[in-house]
Chains A and B, each alone.
Chain A
């Protein structure tokens, strides 16, 4: 399963309204490794660095890059091209490029997100537009 940055941020920040839900979700679903896409790492680390300091962001990177329950999925030229194709095919302006990456990846593995716009896009898409081969 791929986790969106909003799930990780809710998980890490005790003050967040979705913190308890994210904790329960990850603690239960964490029996199997999670996939963390490179763009999601970039977003999560940027939030941590800007709101909680570079040291916290650095520590998060250490923890996810050598972790039994987290697999970091780096992008590649082929994957980037497929995501770009998906991005150009869709007309949704309120999704970021990183959201389109998750939309594209959702064809092959489930994506957990608290973003309603992305969730709806995944439901509606079902590989209809993002069907380029990787």
Chain B
């Protein structure tokens, strides 16, 4: 469920809104009727440092067919036709 509040309402009722967000509510905060930011509950899993899926070894394993001995010098020709 998403609740919409103005930045003034947030300022006035911060404690009450913080408790509602903690319980799972999502709050969209507006300033001059424009969406500014969203308050969402803190999730332990989401905030844990993520280990990237790939490394240099995966790039090394990428099988690239074709090309020729000058392909790295012909990038402008291939991309921009100049």
A residues adjacent to B (C-beta < 8 A):
5-7, 9-18, 22-23, 26-27, 30, 42-43, 46-48, 50-53, 56, 59-60, 62-64, 66-70, 96, 114
Contact check: which of B53, B64, B76 meets A13 at CB < 8 Å? B64
Report Cα–Cα, A111/B71, bound state, in Å: 20
* A5 proximity list for chain B (CB < 8 A): 75
CB pair A6 B73 closer than 8 Å:
yes
Please encode chain B, from 2 to 33, with 1 for each CB lying within 8 Å of some chain A CB and 0 for all others: 00000000000000000000000000000000
Please encode chain B, from 70 to 81, with 1 for each CB lying within 8 Å of some chain A CB and 0 for all others: 111101101110
Report Cα–Cα, A52/B51, bound state, in Å: 30
Report Cα–Cα, A51/B54, bound state, in Å: 24
A16-B75 CB under 8 A given contacts A60-B62, A69-B55: no
Leading 7 A-B pairs by shortest Cβ distance: A13-B67, A10-B72, A68-B52, A9-B72, A66-B53, A17-B69, A6-B72
Report Cα–Cα, A5/B74, bound state, in Å: 11
Count, chain B residues at interface, CB 8 A:
27
CB pair B75 A52 closer than 8 Å:
no
B residues adjacent to A (C-beta < 8 A):
51-56, 58-60, 62-73, 75-76, 78-80, 82
A66 to chain B, nearest CB (A): 4
Report Cα–Cα, A63/B54, bound state, in Å: 6
CB pair A63 B58 closer than 8 Å:
yes
A2 to chain B, nearest CB (A): 15
A114-B54 CB under 8 A given contacts A13-B64, A52-B65: no
* B58 proximity list for chain A (CB < 8 A): 63, 67
* B55 proximity list for chain A (CB < 8 A): 67-69
A63-B62 CB under 8 A given contacts A6-B73, A16-B67, A114-B72: yes
